[in-house]
Amino acid sequence: MSAEEIREKLRKLEKSFIEGRISEETYKELKAKYEAELASLGGIPTKPIPPPSEGLGALFSRAIDFCSSNPVIFIPPVLSGVVSAIILMIFGVSALGMFRGFRPPFGPTRPGAIVPSPWHLLIMSALALIAIRIISLIFDGWMIAMVKQRIEQNFIDLSDSFSYTISKLAPLLVASILVGIIVVVGLFLCVVPGLIAAILLALTLQAVIVDDYGAIEALSISYNVVKRNFFEVLIVIIVQFVVIFILNMIRYVGPILAMLAGAYFTVLLTLLYYSRRAPKPSTITV
């Protein structure tokens, strides 16, 4: 086999791995084999062969295929919605953010009835929002972990992927808090910087879950990946906003459809991250 034929096999191998048709273990095994053959011919490339880049349209299509062939991916958002609704009821907050359980009913207040103070209502609201945000973060991370498992191991195990997400809870929380602070500061400065920051940091959770980066590193990785592919990520986020906004306007089933659409866009952004990221440097030295 000639050196050029081996290089072509390496290129096809990279493409198969990106498209999720082979596991990471198989990819590494075959890559090592082909590179060893190339070395025996004296043809080791001076730099890694760049993987072929999928167009954004292909990624939209592949995300649809992924969700349709792996419907289990919708379990986290459904559970997140159920748990969030329970939390709202526990704290006495309606789904629209208006207090029900802790405020008196319409009409005259009965003598001796305890009327909660505005500070009490504010604290309950803050606690409910914090709890829901943490729940949403865990379930978003779970979805990303499921995509990672499907791409790298060619199967999805709900228990394993959830356990993996819980093991990354600390960097997920820290990264999420940092992103929130950066975006809020940017919005206060002049709105536009906050929106740009939100776009540049849109792949932070993917960096934590997929490549095991710490919170600070994940911010940097997301910034660099999005900076190289800014308009692609911008298009995805705009489409996501428009779709979810329209779906939420549908009576009764709108929020459910919007929740499922949100899961699709999480898959899409994770596939985009896989396709556009630079491989994490190996810690193994020879």
pLDDT digits (tens, 9 = 90+) for 167-217: 999 999 999 999 999 998 988 888 888 899 999 999 999 999 999 999 999
Alpha carbons within 13 angstroms on the beta-carbon side of residue 231 total 1
Q: Residue 61 pLDDT more than 60? A: yes
Residues 70, 43: Cα–Cα separation, whole Å: 40
Residue 110 DSSP one-character state: P
Residues 215, 245: Cα–Cα separation, whole Å: 30
The token duo for 162 is: 């959830």
Contact 118, 99 (CB under 8 A): no
Q: Cα–Cα distances in Å, from 283 out to 107, 161, 211, 277, 280?
A: 68, 24, 13, 18, 9
pLDDT digits (tens, 9 = 90+) for 8-39: 787 777 767 665 567 767 877 888 787 777 77
Contact 198, 234 (CB under 8 A): no
134 closest CA partner among 170, 105, 96, 181: 170
pTM over 0.75: no
Three-class SS state of 99: strand
Give the least confident one: 84-98, 126-140, 165-179, 211-225. 84-98
In the chain, the DSSP E strands lie at none
Contact 110, 236 (CB under 8 A): no
Q: Residue 45 pLDDT more than 60? A: no
